[in-house]
Amino acid sequence: MSNFQSLEIFVAQTSRHWKKIFFAAIAVIAALGAAAQPAYKIADLGTLGGKTSRARAIGDDGAVAGEAETKGGELHAFFWTAKDGMKDLGTPGGRFSRAHGINDRGVVVGEGEIFSGVSVAFRWSSDAGMTNLARPAGVDSAYASAINHFGVIVGAGETESGSRALRWEMNAVAEIVTNGAAFSAARAVNEAGLMAGQMAASPSDQFSSVAFVRGGESNAALKIFSSPKFSGSSSAQAVNGGGVAAGFAEIAAGRIHAMRFGADGVTDLDTMNNAYSSANGINDSNDVVGVFFNGAGDDDRAFLWHGGEMFDLNDLTDDDDWILIEAFGINNRGEIAGYGVKNGREHAVLLTPQAGPHTNSISVTMTGPTNGTVFVEPANIQLSATAKTEAGVKRIIFQANGETVGIATNEPFAFAWQNVAAGDYDLSAMAVTPASEVHRSRPARIRVAMPRRPPEVWIVHPGPKEKLVPGETNEIAAAADAADNRITGLRLFVDGKMLTASNNTGYVAVSWMAPTNGTVEIRAEATDDSGCTVTSPVVRAGLPTSH
pLDDT digits (tens, 9 = 90+) for 392-414: 888 999 999 888 899 999 999 99
Span 310-335, mean pLDDT? 91
Span 385-395, mean pLDDT? 83
pLDDT value for 62: 96
pLDDT value for 225: 86
Q: Are residues 416 and 312 in the same domain?
A: no
Q: Are residues 117 and 99 in the same domain?
A: yes
CA torsion sign for 369, 371, 376, 377 is positive
Span 466-476, mean pLDDT? 88
- CA 536/CA 547 separation, integer angstroms: 33
Q: Are residues 403 and 493 in the same domain?
A: no
Nearest Cα residue to 14 out of 22, 24, 3: 24
pLDDT value for 494: 93
pLDDT above 70 covers a percentage of the chain that reads: 88
pLDDT band at 273 (very low <50, low <70, confident <90, very high): confident
- CA 366/CA 329 separation, integer angstroms: 30
Residue 326: CATH number of its domain? 2.130.10.10
pLDDT value for 545: 58
Return the higher-pLDDT residue of 299 and 189.
Answer: 189
Collapsing DSSP states into helix, strand and coil, what is residue 299?
coil
- CA 416/CA 534 separation, integer angstroms: 33
* Contact residues for 7 (Cβ-Cβ < 8 A; gap 6+): none
> How many structural domains is the chain composed of?
3
Reported as a single tens digit per residue, the pLDDT across 95-151 is 999 999 999 999 999 999 998 889 999 999 999 999 999 998 889 999 999 999 999
Reported as a single tens digit per residue, the pLDDT across 8-24 is 332 232 233 333 333 33
pLDDT value for 351: 97
pLDDT value for 402: 81
Reported as a single tens digit per residue, the pLDDT across 331-361 is 999 999 999 999 999 999 999 998 754 445 5
pLDDT value for 8: 33
The answer to whether the beta carbons of residues 397 and 429 sit under 8 Å apart is: yes
Return the higher-pLDDT residue of 231 and 212.
Answer: 212
Q: Are residues 408 and 472 in the same domain?
A: no
Q: Are residues 409 and 334 in the same domain?
A: no
- The answer, yes or no, to whether residue 477 has pLDDT greater than 90, is yes
Q: Are residues 530 and 406 in the same domain?
A: no
pLDDT band at 38 (very low <50, low <70, confident <90, very high): low
Range with the largest mean pLDDT of 2-16, 37-51, 327-341: 327-341
pLDDT value for 24: 37
Q: Are residues 109 and 130 in the same domain?
A: yes
Q: Are residues 347 and 372 in the same domain?
A: no
Residue type, position 377, single letter: E
**Buried/exposed 310-327: b ≥16 CB within 10 Å, e otherwise:** bbbbbbbbeeeebebbbb
* Contact residues for 320 (Cβ-Cβ < 8 A; gap 6+): none
Q: Are residues 510 and 537 in the same domain?
A: yes
Mean confidence (pLDDT) of the chain: 85
Domain boundary among 449, 482, 506: 449
pLDDT value for 274: 85
Pairing of strands 75-81, 379-389: unpaired
Q: Are residues 144 and 285 in the same domain?
A: yes
- CA 386/CA 412 separation, integer angstroms: 7
Q: Are residues 378 and 525 in the same domain?
A: no
Domain boundary among 360, 394, 423: 360
In 345-415, where does DSSP find H-type helix?
none
Return the higher-pLDDT residue of 466 and 257.
Answer: 257
Reported as a single tens digit per residue, the pLDDT across 152-184 is 999 999 998 889 999 998 767 888 767 678 899
Strands of 64-70's sheet, edge to edge? 49-58, 64-70, 75-81, 85-88
Residue 475: CATH number of its domain? 2.60.40.10
Reported as a single tens digit per residue, the pLDDT across 86-105 is 999 999 999 999 999 999 99
- CA 184/CA 16 separation, integer angstroms: 25
pLDDT band at 37 (very low <50, low <70, confident <90, very high): low
pLDDT band at 6 (very low <50, low <70, confident <90, very high): very low
pLDDT value for 384: 95
pLDDT value for 30: 35
The answer to whether the beta carbons of residues 427 and 493 sit under 8 Å apart is: no
pLDDT value for 324: 96
Domain of residue 389: give its range.
Answer: 363-449
Domain boundary among 360, 380, 414: 360
Reported as a single tens digit per residue, the pLDDT across 492-533 is 999 999 999 988 889 999 999 988 888 889 999 999 887 889
Q: Are residues 74 and 182 in the same domain?
A: yes
Q: Which residues are registered as beta bridge partners of 186? A: 197
* Contact residues for 403 (Cβ-Cβ < 8 A; gap 6+): none
- The answer, yes or no, to whether residue 35 has pLDDT greater than 70, is no
